[in-house]
């Protein structure tokens, strides 16, 4: 435990140095980090109560009073008693306070932009993913997730193969012959890719790879095929599977196909539910022994 505590403290020292929290003024201004946070919180609402501000920032009454007094003396905010309850003290930013907050916001955005520009696109995604992990673990409550569907980048295809193999072994007991099948599908897509008729998408959840799907030619020129739909266990419940299937169908419709088919197995109940809600119908079902287990394979089809 002592080693872990030391590592957390080392990270704190590093990051406070990166953002300049220990400088005399935040982002080259005359305001401390605490003063900047007060201005930021007050900017979010036209008026707020002192008790609510203290709760948001975790400040004790004495420190909050001194801090607000300093900002009031500089003409950045006003304090007054509520007209309906004299025990409640209300705070507002003045015109000068709004101007100071806008300047701080721009300087902070510039500082963070310069920081991100030091890294490659892949490194930025890793950084944002790590920040999301910290926010999720130590934050006070739930937050909206950011979902992005994008084309594959170098390294993504290997991830598709690896995650399919790992997840289907863990959840369904399939052996490595399934991973071999996925590798062949992915390799064929890379080697014979026709951008006018085929596409693939990687789903990101808060900057982390969380799912995928492929749209390729099916049994004939007018039929597309949906392949390799996958959603990471940790990312389920955000509608990623539905989004990926909808994107795949939209691509097929926009690129001259009149139908879409897919092959799945009856044990994949969550995926089957997504297909049914998207309008696919089960047209064929056959038992088979594959990937080291007994399965029931299914063909689903959607016409438009």
pLDDT in tens, 118-140: 988 778 877 877 887 787 777 76
Give the residues across from 260 on adjacent strands: 224, 302
Sequence ranges of the domains in the chain: 2-118, 149-303
Amino acid 227: pLDDT: 98
Do 245 and 278 contact (CB within 8 A), yes or no? Answer: yes
DSSP string, 42-109: HHHSS-EEHHHHHHHHT--HHHHHHHHHHHHHTTSEEEEE-SS-TT-EEEEE-HHHHHHHHHHHHHHH
Which tokens in the block code for residue 235? Answer: 């990312």
Question: Which tens digits make up the pLDDT trace of 240-261?
Answer: 999 999 999 999 999 999 999 9
Q: Considering only CA atoms, which of 200, 256, 272 is closest in space to residue 223? A: 256
**Which CATH number is associated with domain 149-303?**
3.40.630.30
pTM of the full structure: 0.59
CATH for the stretch 2-118: 1.10.10.10
pLDDT band at 301 (very low <50, low <70, confident <90, very high): very high
pLDDT at 128: 79
What confidence score (pLDDT) does residue 144 get? Answer: 64
Q: Do domains 2-118 and 149-303 have the same CATH topology?
A: no
| Nearest-angstrom CA–CA distance, 197 and 88 | 65
pLDDT digits (tens, 9 = 90+) for 156-206: 999 999 999 999 999 999 999 999 999 999 999 999 999 999 999 999 988
Distance CA 277, CA 297 (A): 19
Looking at the chain, the whole-number percentage of residues with pLDDT higher than 70 is 94
């Amino acid at each position: 435990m002592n080693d872990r505590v030391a590592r957390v403290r080392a990270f704190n020292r590093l990051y406070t140095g990166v953002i300049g929290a220990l400088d005399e003024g935040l982002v080259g201004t005359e305001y401390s980090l605490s003063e900047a946070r007060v201005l930021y919180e007050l900017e979010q609402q036209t008026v707020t109560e002192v008790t609510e501000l203290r709760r948001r920032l975790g400040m004790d009454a004495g420190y909050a009073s001194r801090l607000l007094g300093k900002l009031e003396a500089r003409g950045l905010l006003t304090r007054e008693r509520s007209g309906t309850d004299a025990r409640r003290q209300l705070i507002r930013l003045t015109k000068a306070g709004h101007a100071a907050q806008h300047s701080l916001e721009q300087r902070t955005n510039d500082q963070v932009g310069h920081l991100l520009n030091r890294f490659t696109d892949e490194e930025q995604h890793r950084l944002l993913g790590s920040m999301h992990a910290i926010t999720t673990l130590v934050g006070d409550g739930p937050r909206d997730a950011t979902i992005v569907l994008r084309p594959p980048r170098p390294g993504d295809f290997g991830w598709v193969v690896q995650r399919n193999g790992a997840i289907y072994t863990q959840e369904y007991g399939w052996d490595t012959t399934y991973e071999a099948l996925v590798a062949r599908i992915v390799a064929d897509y890379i080697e014979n890719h026709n951008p006018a008729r085929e596409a693939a998408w990687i789903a990101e959840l808060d900057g982390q790879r969380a799912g995928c799907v492929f749209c390729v030619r099916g049994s004939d020129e007018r039929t597309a095929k949906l392949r390799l739909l996958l959603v990471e266990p940790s990312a389920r419940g955000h509608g990623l599977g539905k989004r990926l299937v909808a994107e795949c169908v939209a691509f097929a419709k926009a690129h001259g196909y009149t139908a879409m088919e897919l092959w799945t197995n009856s044990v994949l109940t969550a995926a089957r539910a997504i297909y049914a809600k998207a309008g696919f119908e089960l047209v064929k079902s056959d038992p088979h022994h594959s990937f080291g287990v007994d399965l029931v394979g299914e063909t689903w089809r959607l016409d438009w």
